[in-house]
Structures are given as C-alpha cells and as structure tokens.
Amino acid sequence: MLTVYGLKNCDTCRKALKWLDEQGLAHRFHDVRADGIAIADIRRFAKAAGWETLLNKASTTWRGLPRSKTTGIAEADALKLMAEHPALIKRPVFEHKKGAVVVGFRDPQKAELKVLAGAR
C-alpha cells in the first residue's frame, strides 16, 4: 500500500492518483494542507529522499517568502518552513508501507513505484 502525500488541487497529484488507479496499485491520499503534516513525517521524507529533493523551490509559496528565509537555507530551516507551509513540499510524495519514499511523478519515479508495488 502506498500513501500519497500532496494537495487535492495539484494537477500532478491528480495525474498520479489516476495513474495509480490505472496500474491497479493500492493507495490512499493524504492532503498535506487539509489533513496537515507532522514535522516527523517531513523529517522521515527528507531522510529517505534528501531535503533538497523534498523542498519545492519552484513553488509560488517559495517565491513569496522573504529572501532572508530562503538565502543560504540549511536543512533544519527548510524542514521547519515545509512544516509551516506544506505547499513547499514537492509533490507528490509516495511512501510505501515498508518505508521507501519516492518524490515527484516522472518516468523514473513511475518505474520505482512499479518496483515497490511488486515487492509486497
């Protein structure tokens, strides 16, 4: 079973959920804005995938932050910002019940998700 963390209004998240359904991959969706996200979850994702991978610097939320918060950002500050502003988390984040974390939804991530699904 995969847990998909994202935003319900995110086009990429919607595409990912549709793709998972088409592939017959069991999943549940967790909206990081509506349902919230714990700092422990963000730390776990960052440990597995790298905080730089997890931080969405292309988001409008990131661009709206003061430069004093974004210039030369370190891991602890990035994790805190992602907890305060869940839209800063790159989407979607897939977490397999065995602890594997996949961030993003391109062909390499799709291939990894298929492998994880086969490793039940």
Flag whether the pTM goes above 0.85. yes
Q: What is the mean pLDDT of residues 81-103?
A: 95
Contact 98, 119 (CB under 8 A): yes
Kind and range of the H or E element at 27? strand 27-31
Range of the domain at 16: 2-118
Give tens-digit pLDDT for 24-68.
Answer: 999 999 999 999 999 999 999 999 999 999 999 999 999 999 999
Say how far apart CA 120 and CA 5 lie, in whole Å.
20
Q: What integer is the mean pLDDT of 88-114? A: 95
Average pLDDT, the chain: 94
CATH number at residue 24: 3.40.30.10
79: number of CA atoms within 13 Å, CB side?
Answer: 16
Query: Domain count of the chain?
Result: 1
Residues with active-site annotation:
10
SS3 100: coil
Dist. CA 18–CA 77, nearest whole Å: 34
Q: Which pLDDT band holds residue 120 (cuts at 50, 70, 90)?
A: very low
